[in-house]
Amino acid sequence: MVLEVGTRLLEFFKYHDKYWLLFATPYARQVDSSILSDSIQEQGELQKVYGQKFYYQMVQKDGFYLFRPGRHPMLLPGYPPMTASINSLGLRGKEVSHEKSRDTYRVVVLGESAVFGTTVNDEETVSCHLEHFLNHGVGESTHVEIINGGMPGATSSTELALFHAVIAPLHPDLIVLYSGFNDHSAKTEQRSSFLYQLSYELHGLLYYKSLFYTLTLEKFSLWFTGRADALWGMRFRVISSPEDVHSVIDRYTANVHALIDSTRPKGIRVLLVTQPLWFSPYASKLSEETQVKRIESTIENRKDISREEYRYFMQSKLMGALHGIANSDTLPLVDAVGTFEGIDPLRRGRLFSDTVHLTPAGNKFLAETIANAILEQQLAKN
């Protein structure tokens, strides 16, 4: 109790002058909604996360959140501190005008934390690199503007909600969709072991209630920087079923189709990008048939599998579904999974910060891959 009280006093007077965890404790309070545009205010009740120097606004009605505008030092356990610039829309990146000039080609990269860039600085995100590559490739007659539509923790459902509430009013010319991991990663919270379940629930309770626990974890994470997978990657077991698998795939497919259907009346093009992952035990191809069939057989028999096996299997299925959507809807697709898997495994490992997040070099490589596809298919034309 003494440590907890002392930590809260330290936090109040000093700690937030330095930095704060990206995902802080959810003690919600009303905030002044004047910091957001009217279009955002109308979407739902705004709430504040505990902490005076860093908080985000939760749009409860549509199930997604936006960040408070400004420059925010952020920290994720296991990674070095970085700074994120949040614009008046609540999205990461420079300010965006609702009015678009005639010579501007506006692209929105829609996705999860890998798009937001929770482990990199502003200039190291996929969006920043993509803008650089495209403006060097389209010529002086067109200015390409890239908007970072990434949201930490987003799924295809929240991305669809974000599109309707925030992205569509900006009148983009092209949507680049890069996501999938979060649609199935939540399932890895199911543990077959009572001890795992107990430790997981205890961590959740302390993380959301005790500031002392959170700061202790943060300091340890800073010491453990660069080893996030080792810190969080305990061999949790997952219990799944064929019904769970089909449910995740069906929901993801339905949301992507809904997004595509929403863009067509507005004349917005869509570019689908498959999402590569890094699994050190599975350095072979993500969609390798023998691996997929083995894991699928285990799931059909309703036996538990490791978290890595579940993620490996589900990502393969979702990216396969994305290929199917591209074919059925005649949409362009960038096979980033195939591109990354074509790289030497030693070099490929250096492109990932963890299973799903890329390093600055990885973001640059992904952006160049997407830019080449956009330029080759002449998508960056009004």
**Sequence ranges of the domains in the chain:** 96-191+236-382
* β-pair type (70-75, 237-238): unpaired
- For residue 196, what is the DSSP state? H
183-196: average pLDDT: 59
Q: Which of 29-33, 89-93, 116-120 has the lowest mean pLDDT?
A: 29-33
Give Cβ neighbours of residue 255 (< 8 Å, ≥ 6 apart). 155, 156, 157, 159, 160
pLDDT (mean) for 366-378: 93
Using 50, 70 and 90 to split pLDDT, how confident is the model at 237? Answer: low
Q: Which of 177, 106, 118, 184 lies closest to 151, judged by CA?
A: 118
Contact indicator for 160, 259 with CB cutoff of 8 Å: yes
Query: Any idea which of 113-117, 324-328, 340-344 has the lowest mean pLDDT?
Result: 340-344
The H helix count followed by the E strand count for the chain is: 15, 12
Could you give the percent of the chain with pLDDT greater than 70? Answer: 66
pLDDT at 242: 86
Looking at mean pLDDT, say which of 16-20, 89-93, 216-220 comes out highest.
89-93
Class of domain 96-191+236-382: alpha beta
Q: How many CB atoms lie within 10 A of CB 161?
A: 20
Among 13-17, 96-100, 237-241, 249-253, name the most confident range: 249-253
Question: In the 8-state DSSP scheme, what is residue 265?
Answer: G
Give yes or no for residue 37 having a pLDDT over 60.
no
Residue 36: pLDDT over 80: no
Mean pLDDT (whole number) for 342-346: 83
> What is the pLDDT at residue 364?
97
* Beta strand residue intervals within 76-151, DSSP E: 82-86, 104-111, 143-150
> Does 163 have pLDDT greater than 80?
yes
For the range 338-343, what are the long-range contacts, defined as Cβ-Cβ under 8 Å and sequence gap of 24 or more? 338/274, 339/276, 339/369, 340/276, 340/365, 340/366, 341/276, 341/285, 341/286
Q: What's the mean pLDDT in 240-253?
A: 90
Which position has the higher pLDDT, 373 or 209? 373
Nearby residues of 54 by Cβ (< 8 Å), 6 or more positions away: 16, 19, 20, 24, 68, 72, 73, 74
pLDDT beyond 50 at 40: no
- Cα(167)–Cα(150) distance, rounded to whole angstroms? 11
Q: Residue 307: what pLDDT?
A: 76
Identify the pLDDT of residue 262. 96
Q: How confident is the model at residue 291 (pLDDT cuts 50, 70, 90)?
A: confident
Using pLDDT thresholds of 50, 70 and 90, give the confidence band for residue 76.
Answer: low
pLDDT at 380: 62
Q: pLDDT (tens digit, 9 = 90+) per residue, 109-150?
A: 999 999 999 889 999 999 999 999 999 988 777 899 999 999
pTM metric for this prediction: 0.76
**Looking at residues 62-83, what average pLDDT do you find?**
68
pLDDT at 123: 95
pLDDT of residue 127: 97
Mean predicted confidence (pLDDT) in 91-117:
92
* Amino acid 30: pLDDT: 29
> How confident is the model at residue 64, as a pLDDT?
62
For the residues 230-258, what does the mean pLDDT come to? 78
CA–CA gap between residue 124 and residue 82 (Å, rounded):
11
pLDDT at 263 over 60: yes
pLDDT at 112: 93
The percentage of the chain sitting over the pLDDT mark of 90, rounded to a whole number, equals 38
Q: Does residue 344 surpass a pLDDT of 80? A: yes
Would the pLDDT of 46 be above 80?
A: no
41-50, 116-125, 186-195: which has the highest mean pLDDT? Answer: 116-125
Least Cα distance to 366 among 159, 149, 133, 144 occurs for 133
pLDDT at 39: 37
